[in-house]
Amino acid sequence: MMELVCPAGTPAALRAAVEAGAHAVYCGFSDETNARNFPGLNFSPEELVPAVAGAHKRGAKVLVALNTFPRAGGEKLWHQRLADAEAAGVDAVILADIGLLDYAATHHPNLRRHLSVQAAAANPDAINFYAEAFDVKRVVLPRVLTVAEISAINKEIDVETEAFVFGGLCVMAEGRCALSSYATGLSPNMNGVCSPASHVVYAEEGPDLAAKLGGFTIHRTPKDRPAPYPTLCKGCFTSGEQTGHVFEDPVSLDARHLIPALAKAGVTALKIEGRQRSRAYVAEVVRAFRAATDALADGRELPLAELARLTEGQSATAGAYAKTWR
């Protein structure tokens, strides 16, 4: 059975995901130690303890993301969070930074380590390096690979792989992008945020609504139409004669059709993005994907229509899983 790894931005979302059938949930602490460091989101060390116990009671695993790159001079906070995670009895931590991986392997050898997508390990050599150097047991694959490439990678590695199937989509190699800090001073790697709301301004300019990030116009839409959030890499820009979405259209990832192919490619776990999403959204997505993984395990046809409802009215892409994306 493929493991379904689901987002939990809050204790309530964690319970909702587990009740909806998540095999595992992932979450973070309420600080810069994780890549979804948003106001009102995440767990205090005290909140994590009953959340882990509750999930375990229902047979679900809890994975804790400590996937930012510790600040020079401030590593102690990340080290403390590793200890907090282990004390709460979590099933694994998800790490990206070499220094933190080294520290965890040395000081918390029994705490299972997964490699975060923020480490962008995109080939068997990189994955085997992390496995050998830090005894990483699972790698979350970057969203830059085709299914064929994932299959080839799995033939050359011994650790498990986890692949994103639904939700937000980074078009840059994850963990290797400073676009957000160039525009706002805050980045995923250092601060756990990308295109932060604190730097967003919507300005009425003539007939348009301009969505700006750090003073740079990312979108411009007619006032009477909904303006998309100004995520930098999904913006509309001009280059020479061309105007459009230079990097990526404002789409989200939807690879549900590829679940059987990913299973065949040797993927252990399917990951759903969205720790910033509501409890109701998480429950709905998890229920639909759990029906799909159950169907796959039983050899039944996948109930894809159920999943189709979730992306209704939105643009979705299979991303790099389809080679034409590049």
Partner 1 sequence: MDLTVGSNLFFWTADATRKFYADLAQAPVSRVVVGEVVCSKRLPFWEAEIPTALATLQEAGKDVAISTLGLVTLKRERNQTDDIFGMGVPVEINDITALKHLPENTPFWVGPLVNVYNEGTVAYLARRGATRICLPPELPLASIATLAKAGKEAGVKIEVWGHGRLPLAISARCYHARLNDRAKDNCQFICGEDLDGREVDTLDGQAFLSVNGVQTLSAATGCAAYHTEALREAGVDSLRLSPQTGDFNALCAGYADRIAGNISPEALVAQLLPEAPGGRFADGFFTGPSGSDWAHPIPA
Rg (CA), the chain: 19
Instruction: Report the C-alpha gap between 223 and 41 in whole angstroms.
Output: 31
Question: Which DSSP helix (H) or strand (E) runs through 182?
Answer: helix 179-184
The minimum distance between CB 243 and partner 1, in angstroms, equals 7
Stretch 162-201: interaction string toward partner 1, x if CB under 8 A: ---------xxx-xxxxx-xxxxx-x-xx-----------
Question: Which DSSP helix (H) or strand (E) runs through 101?
Answer: helix 98-107
Q: 3, 108, 129, 322: which one contacts partner 1 (CB under 8 A)?
A: 129
- Taking the least distance from each CB to partner 1, the nearer of 264 and 323 is 323
Rule CB under 8 A: is residue 38 a binding residue for partner 1? no
Tell whether residue 6 is among the known ligand binding residues.
no
Instruction: Report the C-alpha gap between 167 and 27 in whole angstroms.
Output: 16
Closest by Cα among 129, 92, 140 to 269: 140
Strands, E, within the chain: which ranges?
Answer: 3-7, 24-27, 61-66, 92-95, 113-115, 138-140, 160-167, 200-205, 208-213, 216-222, 237-239, 242-244, 252-254, 269-272, 316-317
Stretch 221-260: interaction string toward partner 1, x if CB under 8 A: ------------x-xxxxxx-xx--xxx------------
On the CB side of 126, CA atoms within 13 Å amount to 16
Three-state DSSP class for residue 164: strand
Stretch 82-111: interaction string toward partner 1, x if CB under 8 A: --------------xxxxx-xx--------
Q: 123, 151, 276, 278: which one contacts partner 1 (CB under 8 A)?
A: 123
* Annotated binding-site residue numbers for [4Fe-4S] cluster: 170, 177, 194, 233
Site residues (CB under 8 A) for partner 1? 69-75, 96-100, 102-103, 119-126, 128-130, 133, 144-145, 149, 152, 171-173, 175-179, 181-185, 187, 189-190, 210, 214, 216-220, 233, 235-240, 242-243, 246-248, 320, 323-326
